[in-house]
């Protein structure tokens, strides 16, 4: 049954997450260096049990099942309301590690999952390239056969947590001319010879960089899943995380809406509070309605994923598309209603204004989501 409201346990958990983000995680963010991996923050996510929640508890052979899509969405939405940097740190750990959870060998899981759960290891999802972003099947990083293994040659770009991650989930072409069927996923430790990287300065200062592979050796022990099955590993990961990108966007929209409600109730103009102006009240009503609609679409997509529904790709794409576009609208409207103060460096809305732009591009741009939706509808 689709989720249209949360039960009391879920509601209480979300409130606890928001409090954790504001009271314990935000101070760690403020001590960190913008644009760099914040290891104390990631360690705190481990100590607070949030990474364990993300990946599931370890059992005897350490094969974590991973969080359900709805739990992941609630985590991201709630943390985003209190501290977007904490949300992003958690999400990047999930994105980089989930291929290991779903397709890793027992040895790979046993080595890396305890370290990630504890917040000691930093993960990265290395899919995008200088010439292959939205068209993920056009990957050009080559895996050249070398004995029983391969040598990786080429580059990756726009990789979150690069170049400071401890391991990378890397997607490389093992068969030329085979499109998506010629891509293999590898787990590549950061200390592998021939692997170097450099940071990229972005609009919103997150740890993002480029990677260079100069005949980096990988073996069959490094393969995630099957040789030639890497595209499936990537798409399975993105189908899980796309609704949760929408949840991140909903969290930002809700934070902007909450700030706007407080501001328009307290700020006076033209003889009374801003909320008494019909143009303002109607704008806020529209912001609230779109935010709630986005939230419900995200929850429905998460429920579809968790119940194994056949239309997960369409629902995931719809959730990411609508939620990220909605968040952009709501944050922009909030800035407009706050006026010049929202443009001042350090204002919460100035921060959200920079943060909200990227989700419309990464993990499949808005235009890609529309293509997926149309393909599913006509298919």
Q: How many CB atoms lie within 10 A of CB 358?
A: 18
Q: What tokens appear for 207 in the block?
A: 């740890």
Q: Which of 33, 85, 363, 367 is catalytic?
A: 363
Distance CA 319, CA 328 (A): 14
Which 3 state secondary structure label does DSSP give 33? coil
* 322 CB neighbour count, 10 Å cutoff: 22
Three-class SS state of 269: strand
CB atoms under 10 Å from CB of 35, counted, come to: 15
Residue with tokens 């939620």: 323
Active site residue 367: no
Chain centroid to Cα 204, Å, comes to 15
Q: How far apart are the first and last CA of the chain?
A: 25
Structure letter (DSSP) for residue 204 = S
Compute φ and ψ for 271, nearest 5 degrees: 90, 5
The DSSP annotation for 219-260 comes to -GGGEESSTT-HHHHHHHHHHHHHHHHHHHHHHHHHHHHHHH
Contacts of 326 (CB under 8 A, 6+ apart): 249, 250, 253, 290, 291, 293, 294
> C-alpha distances in angstroms, 185 versus 209, 236, 350, 355?
19, 12, 38, 29
Does residue 347 sit in helix, strand or coil? coil
> Rounded to the nearest 5°, which phi and psi values hold at 372?
-60, -45
Q: Is 277 helix (H, G, I), strand (E, B) or coil?
A: coil
Spatial distance between the Cα atoms of 2 and 301, rounded to a whole number of angstroms: 9
Active site residues: 363
């Amino acid at each position: 049954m689709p989720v249209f409201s949360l039960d009391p346990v879920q509601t209480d958990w979300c409130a606890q997450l928001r409090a954790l983000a504001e009271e314990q995680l935000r101070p760690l963010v403020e001590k960190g260096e913008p644009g760099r991996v914040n290891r104390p923050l990631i360690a705190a996510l481990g100590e607070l049990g949030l990474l364990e929640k993300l990946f599931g508890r370890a059992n005897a052979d350490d094969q974590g099942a991973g969080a359900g899509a709805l739990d992941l969405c609630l985590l991201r939405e709630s943390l985003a309301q209190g501290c977007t940097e904490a949300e992003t740190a958690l999400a990047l750990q999930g994105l980089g590690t989930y291929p290991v959870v779903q397709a890793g060998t027992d040895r790979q899981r046993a080595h890396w999952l305890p370290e990630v759960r504890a917040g000691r290891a930093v993960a990265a999802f290395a899919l995008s390239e200088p010439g292959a972003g939205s068209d993920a099947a056009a990957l050009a990083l080559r895996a050249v056969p070398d004995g029983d293994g391969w040598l990786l040659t080429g580059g990756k770009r726009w990789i979150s947590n690069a170049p400071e991650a401890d391991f990378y989930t890397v997607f490389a072409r093992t068969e030329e001319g085979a499109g998506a069927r010629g891509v293999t996923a590898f787990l590549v430790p950061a200390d592998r010879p021939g692997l170097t990287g450099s940071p990229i300065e972005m609009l919103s200062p997150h740890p993002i960089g480029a990677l260079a592979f100069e005949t980096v050796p990988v073996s069959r022990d490094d393969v995630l899943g099957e040789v030639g099955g890497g595209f499936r590993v990537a798409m399975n990961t993105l189908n899980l995380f796309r609704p949760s990108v929408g949840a991140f966007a909903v969290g930002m929209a809700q934070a902007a809406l909450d700030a706007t409600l407080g501001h328009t109730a307290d700020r006076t103009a033209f003889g009374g509070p801003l909320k008494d102006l019909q143009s303002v009240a109607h704008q806020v009503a529209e912001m609230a309605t779109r935010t709630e609609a986005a939230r419900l679409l995200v929850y429905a997509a998460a429920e579809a994923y968790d119940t194994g529904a056949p239309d997960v790709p369409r629902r995931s794409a719809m959730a990411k598309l609508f939620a990220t576009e909605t968040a952009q609208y709501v944050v922009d409207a909030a800035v407009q209603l706050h006026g010049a103060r929202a443009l001042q460096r350090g204002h919460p809305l100035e921060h959200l204004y920079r943060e909200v732009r990227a989700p419309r591009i990464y993990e499949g741009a808005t235009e890609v989501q529309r293509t997926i939706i149309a393909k599913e509808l006509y298919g």
